[in-house]
Every structure is written in structure tokens, then in C-alpha cells.
Amino acid sequence: MHDKTLTELAAGLRAGEFSSRELCQSALDRIQRLDGDLNSFISVTAEQALADADAADQARASGDAAALAGLPLALKDIFCTQGVRTSCGSKMLDSFVAPYDATVVEKIRQAGGVSLGKTNMDEFAMGSSNENSFYGPVKNPWDLSAVPGGSSGGSAAAVAAGLVPAALGTDTGGSIRQPAAFCGITGLKPTYGRVSRYGMVAYASSLDQGGPMARTAADCALLLETIAGHDVRDSTSVARVVPDYSAELDTSLAGLKIGLPKEYFGDGLDPEVETAVREAIKVYESLGAKVCEVSLPHTHLAIPAYYVIAPAEASSNLSRYDGVRFGHRCEDPTDLEDLYKRTRAEGFGEEVKRRILIGTHTLSEGFFDAYYLKAQQVRRLIRQDFLDAFDEVDVLMGPTAPTPAFDLGAQKDPVSMYLQDIYTIAVNLAGIPGISVPAGFAGNRPVGLQVLAPHFAEAQLLGVAHQFQQATDWHLKRPAFGKEMA
Amino acid sequence: MAIEHADVLRAAHLARVGLGEDEATGYVDDLSRILEMVDQLQAVDTQGIAPLAHPLDATQRLRPDEVTEHNQRERFQACAPVTEGGLYLVPRVVE
């Protein structure tokens, strides 16, 4: 059962081959047996999951089954869940039980989806390896000595290991796509504003976007049509009709124009990753697509612009953790300033402090124009690169990350870790959607093909990914980890 | 633009993150390397380019000025570290 996709499991439930309770119980058993080695979950909500599974079984028996009825999945621990700890991977929120549900959680629940728990992540979504979690690092099921990527590393590892068929993640600079690539699964970052951010713990509000992580593009389509849409509680969510993504997967690739950004195939790209990605592009050519080279000339400025904008927004967003209204509070504060300073010194980890300090510095008097304003101007140039490219081609393709998953503990220097996100970060600055699709291996570690499309072209993106998965079987490969357990 | 020890302490104070003198020293190197990387931005001519704050250039929507939220004080204070009589407690500010 753990090898099946959401779509296959939905068919099994419909046909009465198994109940939601059986399905969820088997997934919970797998989590219990295997997650000690992976550490992909921060909280497992078995009791609630089984109650929800029973409710889904009853609804189905009375002929009232919604789109995700009875299907198990997991939520990155950044989404607020009423009555369940929402830690965001931080000591600061270790004791925080959210008093409300995030909009996407509410939508999953209304569609009958059953959450098995909350997945591990880099603290406040700041990281590319999941090593920045207060709850310890997550292991990559393809190779337990490798990182799963980050920041949605728990979600990616849990799906790759067959603990759940799908999970939700968030992506501020690559945090869905890069772990999807490292773990050999499919992960979609939607257009900024496509999915409500209400109840999603904020990191960098002009970049953050929630999205699906699953085995196939078809499963991502099913999840995206459930969670997308306008929300009056998120003023940045966009009032625009949500297409029936599942119905649009079977579009022909004949005549599709694919652009290969030359900057995505330059220095620093691992040769095995490049080979796998170029092979994938050949598959597209054999399916009737036309390929040409394009240029995104400001690519090299994406990481510098991001490391001004994201920390600036983070330093402002994270000012809410003051030890007064919720979350960690230091012992015996002598005065209010001591309360704030010790609470925040104890509650935040090193990378979070680093970004708060950078953001506070660049926003402070005398530095604002040189850093923040400049970065926002460069952000416009980066977005314009994509708009110009999409005048010439339908989609862009390249590697999701420059290397396969690296070893735990291998990236010691923050800047070299930041450079891991070279191909994903510009996408968030531009606000366009992107998907990572399994496209082979470098040694024993998976490689992801990234496909990018214009704003709100998720249907096209999912169709392009789905067609690849009809022609290849990289998305069907499973790690040896946990294979012995049915 | 390099960052000095005093800048780190100043940012830590502004951000209300407790940082000892020695700890600040540890951040000077890291933050300097990050700012050095960020300095590539200075080489770009951005004269006349409008800053981009929202990827879709969207502006805030307006809604009718009606009450949509009701008071849920008890529920929201249930996750607070210390409250009393419906108020959040902090160390005395005014003697």
C-alpha cells in the first residue's frame, strides 16, 4: 500500500479494496517502525488521524465522499493546526498549540484528507538541508548519510520513504523544490498568491508560498486544486478562478517551446546532474517539444537580492516572538528588556539569529537605500528576465539544484549553503510557479528536473510534468530503505 | 560594506536578541561574508527602476468597514505564558 500514489489509493478506497482506517493504520505503523531512523515527523497525531479516517469511511458508506476522502497525508509543521503543536522547527514554538487552523489545513480537512502529523523542517523555514531544526536533522531515505534538503525536508523524506503518499510544504527560496529533488519526489511551488498564507507561520511574506509534495504530478494537481484559491483572510491571495488541474494533465507536448536558461548550465553544476537533466530534455524532444537556449542575465544577482529581502522581512515577521503572548518565555526576567532579549536568545537557533541580525542591520538607519531599496530594484530586473523569456518560450527547464543531496554536516559555511539555491531562488523573487520532477540519479542520489512557467500557468506546468511521467519511470523508483516492510 | 563588532551589537539590541560580547564576535565573520556576497548588488545600475515589493505588483484590496471578528480573548490567551484577569503579564515597567 505504501508504494501507491494518492490517485491509486483514492481508487482503492472507492472500490472498497481497503478502508481509510486500514490505510491510515498501515501508514501509522510504518511511521512508528521507520521514522526513528529518518526523523521526518515532529508530531504524529495517530488518535486524531484514526478518528478522521473512521469519519471518512462513514461518509463514504453514506455516499458522501469528498475529493481526498480518507487519504492520509502529512503537513509541514509550519501550518497552524488547531489543538496540535505547531513548532515551525523552533524551540520558540515547542509548546505552541495553535488556536486555529491554517486555511490550507481547513481545505484539506473539508476535502476529507486525513493528516497523520506534522513534519520536520529547518527552523522557521530557514535552511536548505533540514539541519537547522530544533528537533534534529532529517535523514534522506535514499542514503541515510545524506541530507533530505530543506526547508521542507521532513515532508520530502516522509513521502520518499512511503510513510505518507503526499505532504504539504512551503517554498520561500526553493524549500519545496530542492528537497523534492534531493528525495526523488515531485514538488510544486505555486504562483505567489495562488495559495492562502493564512495560518502559515511567516518567514518572508513577499516570497512564501505553500504547495504540494507527492510522488506524481497528477497527485500534485489533485492537492493543488484542493488548497488553491482566494482567501479573504490573506490579502495577498489572488481572486482568480482555480482551474481543474487534474482535467488538464493530458495536454499534448507537440510544439511546446522549452527554453534552457544558459545560466542554469554553467560553472558549479555537477556533471552527473547535468547529464540526467539533458537526458530528460531529450525525452521532451522525442515527445514533440522544441528546445532552444535562452538567457536570464540577472541570475547571478538572485541570491544577493534574496539575502537582503528575505532576512529583512524575517526580522520584521519574527519580532512577534516576544515571550509575552505565546511561545517560549525565559525564566525570571528582571525587566521587560531582559524578558525580550533572553526569550529570543534562548528560543531562536543560530541561523535564525543570523538572518534576524542581517535583516535588522540592512533595514537600520543609513543602510536602507543601499541594501533594501537596491535589492527591490534588482528584484524587478530578475522578474523582467523571466517575463522576457516567456515571450519566446512556453516553459523553462533546468536542474532544480546544482548537486545531488550532500552529506549531513558537509556544508559548514552559511554562504556556501545559500549557493545551493542558485536555480530556485529567482523563481520566488519573480513570483512564478515551478515544479521539480524526478529525472534520474547521480550515484545513488536522485536528481530533479525543474520546470518553470509564467504566473498562474500551473495547469501547463503540471501537464508538462505529467507527460514526462507517462514516458519515464524515474518517479516510480523507490529507495531500499523500508522496503522490507509492507 | 563590512560589518563591525559594534554593528552586530547594535543590530542585536535593535532586534532584542540577547548577545554577549564574545558571541557577537562569532557573528562578525559570518555576517561579513553574507554582506560581501550581497555587495554584488552595488555593481548594478538601477537608476530609474522602480522597486518591486510584490511579485504581481498588487496593492491592498479594500473591504467594507464592518466587524468580521468577534472577541475570542480566552481562547487566544490560553497559549500565553502568563496572564491574569484577561491581561498579559510582563515585568513591571512603571515603578
Give the CATH number, domain containing residue B18.
1.10.20.60
Residue A261's DSSP bridge partners are A294
Partner residue opposite A378 with nearest CB, options B35, B46, B56: B46
Is A76 one of the catalytic residues? Answer: yes
Contacting B residues, span 44-83, partner chain A, CB-CB under 8 Å: 44, 46, 49-56, 58, 60-61, 63, 72, 75-76, 78-82
Q: Which residue of chain A comes nearest to B51, CA vs CA?
A: A377
CB contact, 8 Å: A384 with chain B? no
User: Can you give the pTM of this predicted structure?
Assistant: 0.97
Q: Please check whether residue B12 lies inside any domain of the structure.
A: yes
- Return the pLDDT at A274: 98
- Return the pLDDT at A380: 98
B contacts of A367 (beta carbons < 8 Å): 1
State mean pLDDT over A243-261: 96
B contacts of A348 (beta carbons < 8 Å): 17
- Return the pLDDT at A189: 98
Partner residue opposite B17 with nearest CB, options A97, A323, A344: A344
State mean pLDDT over A16-40: 98
Q: Are A415 and B37 in contact (CB < 8 Å)?
A: yes
Read off the pLDDT band of A214 (50, 70, 90): very high
- Return the pLDDT at B57: 85
Is A151 one of the catalytic residues? Answer: yes
Cell representation of residue A253:
507536448
Other Cβ atoms less than 10 A from the Cβ of A278: the count is 15
For A53, A61, A134, the CA distances from A13, given in Å and listed in that order, are 11, 11, 37
State mean pLDDT over B56-73: 88
Is residue B54 a contact partner of residue A206, using CB atoms and an 8 Å limit? yes
Q: What is the pLDDT of residues B52-61, one digit of tens each?
A: 999 998 888 8
Q: Are B38 and A344 in contact (CB < 8 Å)?
A: no
Is residue A68 a contact partner of residue A152, using CB atoms and an 8 Å limit? no
Q: What is the pLDDT of residues A438-471, one digit of tens each?
A: 999 999 999 999 999 999 999 999 999 999 999 9
Other Cβ atoms less than 10 A from the Cβ of A356: the count is 28
B60: distance to nearest CA of chain A, Å? 7
Q: Nearest 5°: phi and psi at A399?
A: -70, 150
Q: What is the pLDDT of residues A177-204, one digit of tens each?
A: 999 999 999 999 999 999 999 999 999 9
Amino acid at A150: G
CB contact, 8 Å: A197 with chain B? no
> Measured in Å, how far apart are chain A's first and last C-alpha atoms?
7
Q: What is the CATH number of domain A6-256+455-476?
A: 3.90.1300.10
- Return the pLDDT at A447: 98
Cell representation of residue A426:
529567482
- Return the pLDDT at A228: 98
Residue A186's DSSP bridge partners are A214
Distance of CA A338 to the CA centre of its chain: 36
A180: distance to nearest CA of chain B, Å? 24
Print the domain residue range for B4: 1-44
Read off the pLDDT band of B92 (50, 70, 90): confident
- Return the pLDDT at B60: 81
Q: Give how many domains chain B has, as a whole number.
A: 1
Alpha helices, DSSP H, located in A140-228 = 153-160, 177-183, 217-227
Read off the pLDDT band of A486 (50, 70, 90): low
Q: Which residue of chain A comes nearest to B6, CA vs CA?
A: A361
Cα radius of gyration rounded to whole Å, chain B:
22
For testing contact with chain A, the best of B7, B34, B39 (most A CBs within 10 A): B34
Q: What is the pLDDT of residues A290-310, one digit of tens each?
A: 999 999 999 999 999 999 999
Percent of chain A with pLDDT over 90: 97
Supply the mean pLDDT for chain A: 97
Q: Nearest 5°: phi and psi at B43?
A: -80, -10
C-alpha dihedral sign at A30, A35, A40, A43: positive
Enumerate the domain spans of chain A: 6-256+455-476
Pairing of β A166-170 and β B83-84 = unpaired
Give the ipTM. Answer: 0.96
Q: Are A414 and B37 in contact (CB < 8 Å)?
A: no
Q: What is the pLDDT of residues A397-439, one digit of tens each?
A: 999 999 999 999 999 889 999 999 999 999 999 999 999 999 9
pLDDT at residue A485 is higher than 90: no
- Return the pLDDT at A334: 95
Other Cβ atoms less than 10 A from the Cβ of A136: the count is 12
Read off the pLDDT band of A1 (50, 70, 90): confident
Contacting A residues, span 319-338, partner chain B, CB-CB under 8 Å: 319, 322-329, 333-338
Q: Nearest 5°: phi and psi at A207?
A: -125, -30
Alpha helices, DSSP H, located in A39-110 = 46-61, 103-110
Q: What is the pLDDT of residues A329-360, one digit of tens each?
A: 999 999 999 999 999 999 999 999 999 999 99
> Measured in Å, how far apart are chain B's first and last C-alpha atoms?
43
CB contact, 8 Å: A418 with chain B? yes
Query: Torsion-angle region of residue A409: left (phi > 0), alpha (psi -120 to 50) or beta?
Result: left
Longest dimension (CA), chain A: 70
Is A341 one of the catalytic residues? Answer: no
- Return the pLDDT at B93: 81
Q: Please check whether residue B91 lies inside any domain of the structure.
A: no
Q: Please check whether residue B27 lies inside any domain of the structure.
A: yes
pLDDT at residue A263 is higher than 80: yes
